[in-house]
Structure 1
Amino acid sequence: MTKDFSPVPTFDAMLLPTIKALQILDGSGTNEEIYEKVTQILNLSDEVLEILHGNSSRSEVEYRLGWSRTYLKKYGLLENSARGVWSLTSTSVNANDLDIKEIVKVVRESHKNNLTSVETSDEIVDYPETLEEISWHQQLHNILSTLEPSAFERLTQRLLRESGFIQVEVTGKSGDGGIDGVGIARINGFLSFHVLFQCKRYQKSVTSSQIRDFRGAMQGRTDKGLFLTTGTFTRNAIKEATRDGAPPIDLIDGEELVQRLKDLGLGVKIEMIESVEVDANWFKKL
């Protein structure tokens, strides 16, 4: 039996906070919204949130929280849409009435023949999360982390163009305060505004001071910024990006980056597999 001495909460310790987070969010939420609420409920420090999962740019909290969502889905308490929005299957569920050990036991027993390892509070538990999804996420993260800085800047340029930006230029001048490029975002073909962006191929978490430095470089040049990284953002960095009275900065972390690349089909191919099911009841009506 292997003990977990990590300061990161185990996935089973985040089961009930995940339910409570969705209740706070009125029954549904994105991965990012659930992550923010769960970390607030558990009062996790930035030091804990910055711990990475292995050699990936995904944090250990995000990784384990992904298992929490999957267990709750397999248990029948959650469902998710193709757009990545998770929701409670019943709004009347009471988190205080749920038994964590029972959830883990039921899900584990229902998948004994298809196993992989996940850490819990007191042992290594075998369970088949969506390994295919984890695999492509991790593979894409690894590729992004090995790109040359200039290649990553070109990827960001392509990503913005595919997302509807026009006149996207990579500047990347040294001494330019971290400004890597500029583009024009268009809204419904009518409104447009200039955006300065910084793209950081980063394994660690972007801090609030880096956000402030970026905003300082934006001063007098635009009212909108975009900070894109293969890593993550600290809680204070997220707060700084949306601080009242300061020019707003949109943030895209590593997880959202790989998802957007997938949605746009940039370096990611999606194969649809046809499933054919025979309806025996239909023949009985003949």
Structure 2
Amino acid sequence: MTRRFEIDAETLPDLPGMMLVTVEALKDLGGSATIQELDEKVIELEGVTEAEQAFTMPRDENRTRVNYYLAWARTYLKRGDALNNSKRGVWALTEIGSAISDLSATQGIYGQVTQEERERARLKRLAAKKADADRGEEIEVMADDGPADEEDWKSALLSVLGKMDPAAFERLAQRLLREAGFTKVEVRGKSGDGGIDGVGVLRVNLVSFQVYFQCKRWKGVTAPLAPPA
């Protein structure tokens, strides 16, 4: 296999290559992953050796070079609108990221972001100010409208969920579980009603639990389960 990037003690690795493998890893993981899951999958796909994984940053011996530069690869992809990430550190492919299939695409993003970084930062500051102003207006409108708006968005959400194809529903379930703190989320089966079955690992303090889950979709109102006799 031809390597897309290599790690050594001094030189900068091929960031577009790292970006491409990052996209491939996310596709293998169902479209979303925690940083740990993603880094492990990239190392697996690229065949990064133990010697390469042992190289550390000059001023931070607790951080490996491969993890450091993979973080930069994610940053470039995010600035190129190919990835997004949540407050819980779950990274996910966007439509742009899902369409990436070769090195030329990540090279294009890398070049674009490198050239536009300063301008993007300026626009981001302006956008943040505008967002704050818009958010204040939105809060006032929501306060006036009351519960009606809440019901509207709930109905809209249920409509979207009901129309999702099974593959999209599977990716959404994985993403929600990762956002809730699960790792190693795997879908192991699909049921005839459009639901899915799977397993994930949930860590609570120092203890990790293997949790099995089911995700179902029903239309209309469902009756609660009867208590055991």
Q: Pick the TM interval, shorter chain.
A: 0.3 to 0.5
TM-score of the superposition, structure 1-length normalised?
A: 0.36
Q: Which of the two has greater helix per residue? A: 2
Q: TM-score, normalised by structure 2?
A: 0.45
